[in-house]
A and B are shown apart, each in its own frame.
Chain A
Amino acid sequence: MPAETTIDPATAFAGIPRSPGSAKSDPILVAEHINRHFGGLTAVDVEHLQVQRGVITALIGPNGAGKTTFFNVLTGFDRPDSGEWRFDGQSLKGMPAYRVARSGMVRTFQLTKALAKLTVLENMRLGATQQRGERLVNAMFRPRWRQQEKEITERAYGLLERFQLAGMANEFAGSLSGGQRKLLEMARALMVQPKLVMLDEPMAGVNPALKQSLLGHVRSLPDDGMTVLFVEHDMDVVRDISDWVVVMAEGRIISEGPPTSVMGDQRVIDAYLGAHHDAPLTVEEEEQVLREAEQIEAVRAEETRE
């Protein structure tokens, strides 16, 4: 990891307006006019978004707001109907997903994609880029890749230790619990040595004990020079670890700012409460909406007291 100077979130966001699409002091990712329609439905309609380098940005919004679709578009897993976006100054428009990843922007998935019939260690090794042994001409001749494989394995064990998975290194990934799979997917993404880590609901379905350690890992990523953009539903988590929050609703970015100020924004509360007015909700969805709205209210109450 390049030892970049750690960016202090407070100074990074000094003087940044708390309005949708505001310009950042040092953006790693800039997206403009991104549109994605599914038939008549506009899933993503982002006018402008800048993601600050070296900090943790949360992307929140009610179910169906278009967060996952936005992630898919940015990472080359989906094509937008229109739009431009640059990562670290390089345009990613039309770039296939694997080249986006190689350029340093690596994502995880909302539905965890652990490679079940590969061992945990093999999952990790797969994450390393520029492997000589991954080329067909070299593959049959072990001496050509043995040394590199050793280095990769060491790096993999280092990350597995950190994510408390080292003991499971030789287990099939399919035998891990849901939470451990999330850990594995994140650790595997770090094997790519990304500049920007994009996590789609990394805490979903993770038990409270693991959640704390997962939170710790996410929080430590900027110290290693990485930028984090993550989607999350749990407002406590968002408030805990994010330096900046972007709120999406019905495909649009409706609010931006530090966690506490965003959660007090009337537009955000309306979005969470009103998002499903026209669509029937399942019981779980309704519960979640209410829970999130409650959390937002609680934060706001706290704010006004202070």
Chain B
Amino acid sequence: MDWGPLFTNSLEAAIGPVAITYCLAAIGLNIHFGYTGLLNFGQAAFMAIGGYGLGAAVVTFGVPFVLALLIGFGGTAVLAVLLGLPTLRLRTDYLAITTLAAAEIIRQVLGSLTLEPWLGGKDGRQGFAATVRDLNPFSGPVDLGIVGFRPFDAWVILIGWLAIALSCLVVWLLMRSPWGRVLKGIREDEDAVRALGKNVYGYKMQALMLGGLFGCVAGFMMGVSRSSVVPDNFQTDLTFFAFCVLLLGGAARVFGPVVGAILLWGMLNVLGNFFGQATSGPNPIIPTWIMDSNQSSLVRFIVLGIALMLLMIYRPQGIFGDKRELAIHAR
């Protein structure tokens, strides 16, 4: 077993662009689910609108990069209103079903043949990150001792973590305010909040939109880090992994999504590397009748699933959650 690369790879993954993307998506879900109690199962749709808003605006229509970002934000806001208008007056399950379906519809439409001239069909859009590339201050590989990144990756990671820091600051400022108090009240019992004269519907709409905007930023991050968006990036499991990140770190905690993202992607890589190494070579540590090297990359998801189940059983509030809050929830 070669522990050095295992450790390095995992650390790189834990702070890399993928972890950043999921962290941002989970910050949005934290506003929806953690603070307001809204079940949005279509965060992938908000990310898709962000990614495609940016990609198509730049590549197809030649819009300047910054304006394309604004188009992405605008598109997400419109999507939030369209999803929220019919569902936010109903029980939260309706929002869950609607967002889940909408995310699939949007993914299919983005990849459709009809829209291929503009959105590129199954191949999506590529090469819209030139602006980001041009601004890259790193001319050579960045070596941080244990971990090292190629210049563009390092730049994207730097931007990503700045975005996360800013997002956490915004969430913290909002959730200590009376506005955040109303959201938490809605999560606990929306009728009680209504009885105190608050426009619950309006607050839910604001929360849906705001959380969606963080999803949009996650979509930008995903697109820019890969310099490409394709419909298959935005499958339903994207949303569910973002939920894993949130629950792992602890919902309704400002840093929950950050801790969750680092742990999830770190863990996935540790497991992947471990099983990969343990099953490779002529004389593998794990005999082939248990698993072969082809199966090893899937086994990590099984182990991860079991780990998540154990976490939910023994520490359902997540790594960061508050025990006191949980004790109440359990009664």
Binding site for B on A (CB under 8 A): 75, 77, 96-99, 101-102, 106-109, 113-118, 122, 125-127, 129, 131-136, 138-140, 142, 145, 149, 172, 174-175, 185, 188-189, 191-192
Binding site for A on B (CB under 8 A): 170, 173-174, 177-182, 184-185, 187-189, 191-200, 206, 210, 324-325, 328-329, 331
Say whether, besides A116-B328, A136-B206, A97 and B188 are in contact (CB < 8 Å). Answer: no
Residue from A116, A117, A191 whose CB has the most chain B CB atoms within 10 Å: A117
Q: Let me know if A109 and B191 touch, CB within 8 A.
A: yes
Residue from B180, B184, B325 within 8 A of A139 (CB atoms): B180
Q: Let me know if A129 and B197 touch, CB within 8 A.
A: yes
Q: Let me know if B206 and A172 touch, CB within 8 A.
A: no
Q: Let me know if A115 and B194 touch, CB within 8 A.
A: no
> Would you give the shortest CB distance from A140 to chain B, in whole angstroms?
4
Residue from B178, B185, B188 whose CB has the most chain A CB atoms within 10 Å: B178
> Would you give the shortest CB distance from A199 to chain B, in whole angstroms?
12
Q: Let me know if A101 and B189 touch, CB within 8 A.
A: no
Bound form: Cα–Cα A125–B196 in Å: 10
The residue of chain A having its C-beta at the shortest distance from the C-beta of B331 within the complex is A174
Residue from B178, B179, B197 within 8 A of A98 (CB atoms): B197
Which residues from A are CB-within-8-Å of B200? 98
Q: Let me know if A113 and B189 touch, CB within 8 A.
A: yes
Say whether, besides A102-B197, A136-B206, A175-B328, A116 and B188 are in contact (CB < 8 Å). Answer: yes
The residue of chain B having its C-beta at the shortest distance from the C-beta of A106 within the complex is B195
Which residues from B are CB-within-8-Å of A134? 178-179, 181-182, 198
Q: Let me know if A139 and B195 touch, CB within 8 A.
A: no
Q: Let me know if B198 and A98 touch, CB within 8 A.
A: yes
> Would you give the shortest CB distance from A175 to chain B, in whole angstroms?
6
Bound form: Cα–Cα A89–B253 in Å: 46
Q: Let me know if A140 and B170 touch, CB within 8 A.
A: yes
Residue from B193, B206, B325 within 8 A of A126 (CB atoms): B193
Q: Let me know if B178 and A172 touch, CB within 8 A.
A: no
What are 12 A-B pairs with beta-carbon distances under 8 A? A101-B195, A101-B196, A115-B192, A117-B325, A117-B328, A126-B181, A134-B182, A136-B206, A139-B174, A139-B179, A140-B173, A174-B329
> Would you give the shortest CB distance from B304 to chain A, in whole angstroms?
29
Bound form: Cα–Cα A107–B195 in Å: 6
Q: Let me know if B325 and A172 touch, CB within 8 A.
A: yes
Q: How many A-B residue pairs have CB under 8 A?
A: 112
> Would you give the shortest CB distance from B182 to chain A, in whole angstroms?
6
Q: Let me know if A115 and B188 touch, CB within 8 A.
A: yes
Which residues from B are CB-within-8-Å of A102? 197
Which residues from A are CB-within-8-Å of B191? 77, 97, 109, 113
Which residues from B are CB-within-8-Å of A133? 177-179
Which residues from A are CB-within-8-Å of B325? 117, 172
Which residues from B are CB-within-8-Å of A118? 181, 184-185, 188
Q: Let me know if A106 and B196 touch, CB within 8 A.
A: yes
Bound form: Cα–Cα A188–B173 in Å: 25
Say whether, besides A116-B188, A116-B328, A98 and B177 are in contact (CB < 8 Å). Answer: no
Bound form: Cα–Cα A75–B195 in Å: 8
Which residues from B are CB-within-8-Å of A115? 184-185, 188-189, 192-193
Which residues from A are CB-within-8-Å of B173? 139-140, 142
Q: Let me know if A126 and B180 touch, CB within 8 A.
A: no
Bound form: Cα–Cα A194–B181 in Å: 21
Which residues from A are CB-within-8-Å of B184? 115, 117-118, 122
> Would you give the shortest CB distance from A169 to chain B, in whole angstroms?
15
> Would you give the shortest CB distance from B180 to chain A, in whole angstroms?
7
Q: Let me know if B194 and A98 touch, CB within 8 A.
A: yes
Say whether, besides A139-B174, A140-B170, A192 and B328 are in contact (CB < 8 Å). Answer: no
Nearest 3 pairs of A and B residues by beta carbon = A174-B328, A133-B178, A139-B179
Bound form: Cα–Cα A79–B225 in Å: 52
Say whether, besides A115-B184, A117-B329, A188-B196, A136 and B179 are in contact (CB < 8 Å). Answer: yes
Q: Let me know if A142 and B177 touch, CB within 8 A.
A: yes
Say whether, besides A139-B177, A140-B173, A175-B328, A126 and B182 are in contact (CB < 8 Å). Answer: yes
Say whether, besides A135-B179, A139-B173, A172-B324, A126 and B194 are in contact (CB < 8 Å). Answer: no
Which residues from B are CB-within-8-Å of A122? 181, 184
The residue of chain A having its C-beta at the shortest distance from the C-beta of B198 within the complex is A98
Bound form: Cα–Cα A117–B209 in Å: 24
Bound form: Cα–Cα A98–B170 in Å: 28
The residue of chain A having its C-beta at the shortest distance from the C-beta of B193 within the complex is A126
Say whether, besides A109-B191, A116-B188, A101 and B197 are in contact (CB < 8 Å). Answer: yes
Q: Let me know if A145 and B197 touch, CB within 8 A.
A: no
Bound form: Cα–Cα A192–B191 in Å: 15
Residue from B189, B197, B324 whose CB has the most chain A CB atoms within 10 Å: B197
Q: A106-B197, A115-B184, A136-B179 are in contact. List 6 more A-B contacts (CB 8 A).
A: A115-B188, A117-B187, A122-B181, A133-B178, A149-B178, A172-B328
